[in-house]
Amino acid sequence: MNFSTCKSKILEQLHDQQLLIVSQRRNGLILYKSYHAEFVGPGAAVGGQLDLDCQQVLPVGELCLLSPQSPEERLRAYALRLQWTRLIREITSRHTPLQRAQKILEQFEGFNFKPQIINQLPDEAFALLVGVLPHTIREVRRVC
């Protein structure tokens, strides 16, 4: 299955309200919504009622989505989704766009994503995650 087909299949699953869990490996999913993007990291829930408004997806790393096997696993995944959301919200509370851009790039490095994976992610994805313009992300990447 090619990359485009994979993204279409994931988007279809989200629109069908399937609840999935991002595996615990170094991977994740960027969800493009109307005016922002969300990062769903390892162990977190994706889909169900949470992501009906998702317009596009961008797998990060070697994405593996799993079906929850128990109510406890589902609850854990929802709790992890909330933690990922809080982390991104903390980054967006930084005062300046440059600080937000630098912090999101540092966080992805801290998530242990390989540098080539981070470098392949579009500036627009990072920008939509933290509410800055894509050229701000480019500027920070150029300096670092």
pLDDT tens for 73-115 read 999 999 999 999 999 999 999 889 999 999 999 999 988 888 8
Domain extent listing, the chain:
3-143
Nearest by Cα to 32 from 126, 117, 103, 141: 126
pTM: predicted TM-score of the whole model, two decimal places = 0.92
Higher pLDDT, 94 or 38: 38
Three-state DSSP state, 24: coil
Largest distance between two CA atoms of the chain: 46
Supply the DSSP symbol for 17.
Answer: T
Instruction: State the pairing for strand pair 65-66/37-40.
Output: unpaired
